Amino acid sequence: MVVLSPKLAAVAPLVLPLDVGIHLSLFDIGILVIEAALGKSRLMKSKESNRGLIVGVTGGIACGKSTVSQLLGEKGAIPINVDEIGHRLLRRGSPIINELIENFGAGILDESGNVSRKKLGAIVFNDTRARERLNGILHPLIIQQSRAEARRLAAESPSCVVVIDAPLLIEAGAQDTVDFIVVVTVSPEIQLQRLLNRSAAENRLLSRADAQARIDAQMPLSEKIKFADFVIENNCTIDALRRTVNALWTMLNK
């Protein structure tokens, strides 16, 4: 299911009289209608610049961002996962390890000298100021490294689509570093259950309260949608999600 984003709805009346927030199936209205409505978006501006398209996929925790990015990768997109860049920055020898220790204490390290995500998470998820300090340390380097790689790939292949899986794209104020923004959303109940299931599968068990705290610590999905060019409601089966991603891929390559 696709939700017409506010930015898309602003031009949609040129083709079809729709209200902001109306839920549409791409197969009900036809992919050409969506493509026409996107004619005034940043998508077209990128295609006119003779370089590849840089797409930012974002959303809340456990909404399915990585799954959408993976499905786009299966279609031919080149994926860049900023979570992986962030994880590398938490390893021993990273240029920011000392700064992290200075801000959060040596207790955040595990026996190998890497920053323990669990220990660091316990500090920042319930402390807004601590979380802002962490973001201020990590985000500049994550944005710098991921966008440099994306720009290099886009310049090398004008027909390519580079997908950046960026959970904190909006929070970091980096929305203008990509050409097109896809926001993946999910209902609160499903989001919580998926987070609990994932923590169990990764042997990093979270209580229901801790899981909800992690969700609440993030920007509300209703706010992220305001920045979207394309919104995917991921309350469905993987087959339904795949069909939506296939339609998105067709649009990105027109």
- Spell out the domain ranges in the chain: 2-82+143-252
Per residue in 48-106, pLDDT tens?
678 999 999 999 999 999 999 999 999 999 999 888 899 999 999 999 999 999 999 99
Q: Got the DSSP string for 164-179?
A: EE-TTTTTTT-GGGSS
Report how far residue 220's alpha carbon sits from residue 228's, in angstroms, rounded to the nearest whole number.
13
Q: What is the pLDDT of residue 163?
A: 97
Across the strands, what pairs with 180?
55
Name every residue whose Cβ is closer than 8 Å to that of residue 166 and which is 6 or more positions away in sequence.
56, 57, 58, 82, 146, 172, 174, 178
Q: What is the pLDDT of residue 12?
A: 43
Q: What is the pLDDT of residue 25?
A: 45
Q: What is the pLDDT of residue 8?
A: 52
Mode of pairing for the β-strands spanning 2-3 and 23-24: antiparallel
Neighbours of 121 (CB within 10 A): 18
Helix axes 82-89, 128-156, angle to 10 degrees: 120
Across the strands, what pairs with 185?
233
Question: What burial class does residue 23 get, using C-beta atoms within 10 Å of its C-beta: 0-12 exposed, 13-18 middle, 19+ buried?
Answer: exposed
| Cα–Cα nearest to 167, from 130, 195, 207, 202 | 195
Q: What is the pLDDT of residue 1?
A: 55
Question: Domain 2-82+143-252: which topology?
Answer: Rossmann fold (3.40.50)
Q: What is the pLDDT of residue 81?
A: 83
Query: Tokens 């990093």 label which residue?
Result: 204
Alpha helices in the chain (DSSP H): 6-11, 26-29, 31-37, 42-47, 65-75, 82-89, 97-104, 117-124, 128-156, 188-201, 208-216, 221-224, 238-252
Name every residue whose Cβ is closer than 8 Å to that of residue 92 and which is 6 or more positions away in sequence.
112, 113, 114
Q: What's the pTM value of the predicted model, to 2 decimals?
A: 0.78
Per residue in 109-122, pLDDT tens?
999 999 999 899 88
The residue ranges of the chain whose pLDDT is under 70 are 1-48
Neighbours of 150 (CB within 10 A): 23
